[in-house]
Chain A
Amino acid sequence: MRKKEIKKRIEQLLAGELNDTEVSQLRTELEAYPEYREIAELHAMLDRMENDAPEVSGEKFSRMRAEVLRAVRLRKNDTSSANQGSILEKIQLFLMRPEMAAAALTLIIGFFLGRVFPGSGDRLTGQFLSQINILASQNTQLNDVKNSPYTYSNISFREVDQNTVELSFDVSTHLNMVKTKNDPVVREVIAQALLNPSNVGSELKAISFSESIVDQRVKQALIFSMKNAPIVAVRQKAEETLLSYKEDPEIREAFLGVLREEESVQMRLTALEYLINNKIPPDSIRILVDRKHLQNSPAVLFRAKKYLENTF
């Protein structure tokens, strides 16, 4: 067989166009053409290989689809906002139906009330409202609602009259961003994470991040956590972080509160040490001792008495 013909046969082999007899015939021919024989061997090896892509769980695929739908919706909304001019014509047609006109009137009044009382009607809220209005009119199936980029909670309804209903609800959406640790948004989110913790892990993480940040609202959020977090580990972590704020009257007051009311002996001892080291007037401690606030914790009481003895 000529070399040119061998090449053609090899191409047919790679294309899967040869039957078994033709393949074995070709193999014999290839003995004389080592460079082509190697290609045929490589082909056989590749044929044995299957796509080795690891299997992906249905959950991962459905998360991916949800992400795609979220992105697609946001883009659709952007386009809709940009095309508001052409929507005007549709609105005119819509208003020709009396019941729709009544509903629209309610919306318009609500909108102007929002403008007059800017507490709920600022520009941002307006844009947000327009986004959820567009989305609501686009969603037609339950799946659309499930994949909405916004989460609705704390929902209540009140019938105003035969045609209208007052809705009250919270809307939230998930955002993802990278910021420098000193950015005001980071401080705001840390404070929010401590005031409205979603879980213990995120609360502890927020406290860890707050260690390097000196900020009034973060400090107050830490005090809030130290006083109110249901998990002692979180309260303790918040207290440890607050130790870095020196001679701060607000923190002194908060630590006095810990000394009075906290269940954890460890935390009370830490608070007492902070107060002693930050020159709290001994009378503040004496009052606690006299009023028997430290009675239920012998270790704390012992340390407080020792401190008071030394101040004389």
Chain B
Amino acid sequence: MQKTDDMLVAEIKDGSLDAFDLLMKKYEEEVYRVAYGFARDTDSALDISQNVFIKVFENLNSFKGSSAFKTWLIRIAWNESMNWIKRNKRHQMHQELEATQISAVHKPDAEVEFTEDKVMLLRSLYDLNTRYRLAVVLRYFENYSLRDIGAILNCSEGVVKNMLFRSLQKMKQTLKTSEIGEIQ
């Protein structure tokens, strides 16, 4: 029988590193993908993931189970991604976006068009404030329910809906501004 998160957390609190290893195996990919949504670089996303799990272990005693473990974990992943962004500014992210653009040169036309759109879209995404960005990343890239996003961001589903609307509105403005910039 596969152990539930609650069972694993209880074992870790009792000192089992095996349980902690299992918990990491269960969520490493998800944490990495969320981190990648912010860092846009594999190695950095892995570094962030590493810090996330260290933080999880250090703070597990403060996790009382009032929310699901996954919600708590993704909140830590978000905080760590924010810390990473503060430390690294946007340097690496822009490098990655440039790389996406360069790789588009070798692709068929339709795909190039999509890649170019994607680069523009990612640029506009990175102009959002981090809370809004997380909402978009979780909703569109990780297919989280609004309820889960609300739990992570500590707000109601209604607020998440509004956040998504405002995020897309802001992204649309950014896209327009950059299009005008390119024409000029």
Residues of A within 8 A of B (CB): 7, 10-12, 14-15, 35, 38-39, 42-43, 45-54, 56, 60-61, 64-65, 67-69, 71-73, 75, 138, 140-141, 143-144, 147
Expressed in whole angstroms, the minimum distance between the Cβ of A75 and any Cβ of chain B is: 7
Q: How many residues on chain B are close to A (CB under 8 Å)?
A: 45
Look across to chain B and name the residue whose beta carbon is closest to the beta carbon of A50.
B141
Residue ID in chain A nearest B35 by CB atoms: A53
Interface check B102, CB cutoff 8 A:
no
User: Which residues of A lie under 8 Å from residue B90 when comparing CB positions?
Assistant: none
- State whether A46 touches B121 (Cβ < 8 A): yes
A127 CA to B141 CA, complexed, in Å: 49
- In the complex, how many angstroms separate the beta carbon of B131 from the nearest chain A beta carbon? 16
What separation, in Å, do the CA atoms of A46 and B139 have in the docked complex? Answer: 10
User: Which of the residues B32, B54, B141, B164 comes within 8 Å of A72, measured between beta carbons?
Assistant: B54
Least CB separation from A139: chain B residue: B17
Given A11-B162, A68-B53: A49 in contact with B118 (beta carbons within 8 A): yes
Residues of chain B within 8 A (CB-CB) of A7 are 165
**B46 and A42 contacting across the interface, CB-CB below 8 Å:** no
What is the interface of chain A mostly: helix, strand, loop, or mixed? helix
What are the residues of chain A within 8 A of B169 when measuring CB–CB?
39
| CB–CB B20/A49 < 8 A | no
Answer whether A15 and B29 are a contact pair too, CB < 8 Å, given A46-B121, A53-B37: no
Complexed CA–CA distance, A72 and B52 (Å): 12
Are A71 and B54 within 8 A (Cβ)?
yes
| Chain B, range 3-54, C-beta contacts under 8 Å to A | 15-18, 20-21, 24-25, 28-29, 32-33, 36-37, 42, 45-46, 49-50, 53-54
When the two chains form the complex, which single residue of B20, B33, B121, B164 contacts A45, counting CB atoms closer than 8 Å?
Answer: B121
